[in-house]
Structure 1
Amino acid sequence: MQQLTPYLALDTKAKHLLDQRDGSEIVLSFSEAQVLSHLLSAPGTVFGKEELLSVGWPERVVALTSLTQCISILRKKLEPYPEIQLKTVARRGYQLNISEQSHVHMLAISDGEAIRTALVSVSLKIKLLGILLLLGLVGFFWYYSDYHQMVKQVSHWRADKQLPLNVGGTLASAQLFYSDEAKQLHPSMWQKHLAPEGNLIPGLKHFSAYAASDGRNYSFAICPSADETGCDGDGIINITAIDPKPAGLSMKEFVPLSKEMERRIRYNRIILPPAVDNAELVEHNYHADIYFPVAGELLVRTDLSLSLVYDSKDSGQFYSSACVTDQDCITTPIKYQLRGHFHQYRTEISGTLVDVFQVKVNQKELIKPDNVSDSAMHFYREIRKDDIRDEEIYYFRVYQDHKTAVWIVPQMGNLLAWTTYSEVKL
């Protein structure tokens, strides 16, 4: 069996051409098979007419017209394969040429030998073009893949600094997460919002802390009850500054005020009944209260709830609900809810392990308030922007223990929240 192309073979014994793409056969006479086989032994070589006569009609004396007719018939049988050319060279003889385009024809999947022949026989130029095309396709799909979009989001964040904090008269160091947009990272950007004369929380002896900035918001979160086993969720404080002017927040007054606000209005915290047996689904719920002090304005609070329901090991349904109110209830609740599908990735930010939740939003609802105080107008505008723009968003879980977790939440910019954690069996 002689291969003319990766998909067309000559069988001189059976006297036929075999198209290996579909298994079809082209019947040849003895002379046609022998002449074609001889020409195929050295493609591109000019063979004399006398030599071809002796090959096609051995031990016989025939007229030159027999060879001319044989060549004519071969040309007709090879017409379906334009890459194979049987040429007449004037006054010299005949020549078989096979162009390289034969290598780009579709091969029979089951024809391993033809595939191997095609791969080996194609020119280096075509191989290089094929490799470049393949690399281009891989690069295209990588660039637009969900994983690459996540990598780009994470690349904008750093966690290589510690931030000294004095909260309630107690000193501690907070791990700082900051984005490329955060140009001012001096501790005063966080500390200046606490009034020095009121920075006292009786009984606060120590705390663990995290801090974050996206260049617009400056957040810190503390847990006074944290120890080597984690945070038990008691006494968590989440504060985010949205204005560069010092807020003058008195921590001595803030603690009882925040407790009063949380007792008076509670939208997203769920009081759970005893666990049920044989639950089909488990909802992982995270809750936090985030406070926004601004100089001369009412204290504004966001009551935040995040829920994850896993469909598989690293993906599932995502739910978020946020309610904004102020300390005097002048602003009736600004409620923003969204739901979508999440994919969870485990990665690092400056060597710190984090969980990244890529959420593709498929449902949003903004419940507009009847009244918005001057203090809360900023938040209404920001939530309205989120409602218009949110399509694909990223939540970072930068810490978790058995009762709490710390999140960077992409709402109204990026907010840091130390949340309490609970499971709801459904």
Structure 2
Amino acid sequence: MLKITPYLELDTEAHQLVDHVSGKKVILTFSESAVLHRLLLSSKPVCSKEELLSAGWPDRVVAVTSLTQCISTLRKKLDAYREVQLKTIARRGYQLHISTQSHVKMLAVNDAESMRAAIFDVSLIVKISGIVIALLLLVLAWYFSDSHKAKQNLARWSADEQFDLQVGGLKGNAQLLYKDDAPHLHPFMWEKHLLPDNSFLTCHEDFNAYVATDGENYSMAICPGSDKEQCAGKGLINLTSVDSEPAQLNLEEFVDLSSAMEQRIRYNRVMLPESTDTSGALLEHNYQADVYFPVKDELLIRADINMSLIYDSSDSGEFHSSTCITDQDCLTTPIKYKVRGKFKQYSGMIDGLKADIFQVKVEQKDLIRPDKLNGSAVRFYRDLRKRNIKDEELYYIRIHQDHKTAVWVIPLFGQVTAWYHYERFDI
């Protein structure tokens, strides 16, 4: 076999052309095969008529017209292969010209030389174009990747400010988080919902706090105590305002009321459904928070939030979330919303604040409609109904973690920031 192009060969024994793309074989006469063979092996750019006559008709004397006729029929048989051209050189002979740029779209992939020729035997412009296209494909793949989408979501948050927050007669430092250049970042936007001159926190020396806004909701997550690294997990206060009018919340009364609400019923003690695969040793990371939504002249709404992460690798696993909405007088029967899916964890920074963002691909959602619904809870039920219809991918951001607690920003009624109790369980 004598290679003509990466996919076309001359079989000198069978006197035929072998096309490895189509599998087609083109029969040649002895003279056509011999003439083509001589043209392929010639070290000279042009083969004389005498050389070709000697090759095609050995030990015979034939007229030049025999060669002319042979060349004509050979050209017809090569006509399907445009990169192979048999040229007549006036008064000198014939030349076989083979283009290095093949027009075929398939190669004999088991032929290493063919593959190498197809890749390297092309013009510089083709090579550059191929590199540019490959780079564009890589950029597009990265842009639409889960990792980039998670980092984009994280990039919408800023944490470049801190301010003093006045709560319960005590002043402490608060880390501010805000989304998409949200306006009105003055401490007043959080403090205005609390009645002033309340001294119930003065038994503590200090507190840690995170305050956050997505431009609509204003969340406040407070851990009383002077330890800036570790939160004791006692007396956590999570308030989120969903109305611009000051709620006039009396914190001392709120603490007594919230304690009563939490002791009355906790719906989210058991998180994992029985169907969860628990073969082998698994570790559940469980987070629980009570978030309150004060609105002026309305019943206090409580969200009992429970989240569980079960890792099956260092950065992925199963995600379970359950939220239960009740009011202070039990006029609204529990609104329950559960989400289950697979999570992927990514790490990043928000203006120097270390953060972990969890992308959750939702696999199952359950919204249990309450038997009774008062006016204070209507807005929350409507929001959960929208999420139950629309959500397919969710992002949860963890901005603090210690041995007993964690602070999360979660997609609930907009974006809600809260301080969670943290536990680990073997399952």
> What's the TM-score once normalised by structure 2's chain length?
0.86
Which residue in 2 is equivalent to 1:148?
A: 148
1:82 & 1:226 partners in 2: Cα distance? 83
Which residue in 2 is equivalent to 1:354?
A: 355
**Conserved in 2, the CA contact under 8 Å of 1:162 and 1:176?**
yes
Identity rate of aligned residues, in percent? 55
2:193 & 2:40 partners in 1: Cα distance? 88
Which residue in 1 is equivalent to 2:336?
A: 335
2:342 & 2:423 partners in 1: Cα distance? 20
What is the Cα deviation at residue 75 of structure 1? 3.6
2:142 & 2:246 partners in 1: Cα distance? 45
**Deviations 1:203-228 (CA, angstroms, capped at 9, x unpaired):** 12211111111011111111114625
Which residue in 1 is equivalent to 2:424?
A: 423
**Paired residue type of 1:308:** L
1:104 & 1:65 partners in 2: Cα distance? 34
**Deviations 1:158-198 (CA, angstroms, capped at 9, x unpaired):** 11111321122221112222110522211111111111133
SS at match of 1:331: coil
SS at match of 1:330: coil
- Closer, same or farther in 2 for the Cα pair 1:186/1:264, shift >3 Å? same
What is the Cα deviation at residue 318 of structure 1? 0.9
Which residue in 2 is equivalent to 1:299?
A: 300
SS at match of 1:198: coil
- Closer, same or farther in 2 for the Cα pair 1:217/1:122, shift >3 Å? same
**Conserved in 2, the CA contact under 8 Å of 1:279 and 1:425?**
no
| Correspondences of 1:280-291 after superposition (within 5 Å) | 280-291=281-292
What is the Cα deviation at residue 317 of structure 1? 1.2
2:258 & 2:341 partners in 1: Cα distance? 31
Q: C-alpha root-mean-square deviation of aligned residues, in Å?
A: 3.4
**Deviations 1:304-353 (CA, angstroms, capped at 9, x unpaired):** 00011122221111111111111111111111111111111112222222
Which residue in 2 is equivalent to 1:184?
A: 184
- Closer, same or farther in 2 for the Cα pair 1:11/1:164, shift >3 Å? farther
**Deviations 1:59-91 (CA, angstroms, capped at 9, x unpaired):** 975321332243245346545634323245787
**Aligned: 1:267 with 2:267:** yes
**Paired residue type of 2:208:** S
**Aligned: 1:391 with 2:402:** no
Which residue in 1 is equivalent to 2:413?
A: 412
| Correspondences of 1:3-402 after superposition (within 5 Å) | 4-8=4-8, 32=32, 35-36=35-36, 39-40=39-40, 49-50=49-50, 52-53=52-53, 61-72=61-72, 74-75=74-75, 78=78, 81-88=81-88, 93-99=93-99, 101-102=101-102, 104-180=104-180, 182-198=182-198, 200-225=200-225, 227=227, 230-269=230-269, 280-402=281-403
What is the Cα deviation at residue 200 of structure 1? 3.3
**Deviations 1:369-410 (CA, angstroms, capped at 9, x unpaired):** 122222222211211221121111100011111111111010
1:112 & 1:282 partners in 2: Cα distance? 50
> What's the TM-score once normalised by structure 1's chain length?
0.86
Gaps of 5+ in 2: 273-278
1:423 & 1:106 partners in 2: Cα distance? 57
**Paired residue type of 2:324:** C
SS at match of 1:5: coil
1:359 & 1:108 partners in 2: Cα distance? 44
2:190 & 2:315 partners in 1: Cα distance? 35
What is the Cα deviation at residue 109 of structure 1? 3.6
Aligned residue pair count:
422
- Closer, same or farther in 2 for the Cα pair 1:271/1:89, shift >3 Å? closer
1:337 & 1:163 partners in 2: Cα distance? 35
**Paired residue type of 2:308:** S
1:404 & 1:17 partners in 2: Cα distance? 77
What is the Cα deviation at residue 115 of structure 1? 2.8
Mean Cα deviation higher: 191-200 or 107-116: 107-116
**Paired residue type of 2:291:** I
What is the Cα deviation at residue 238 of structure 1? 0.7
Mean Cα deviation higher: 220-229 or 380-389: 220-229
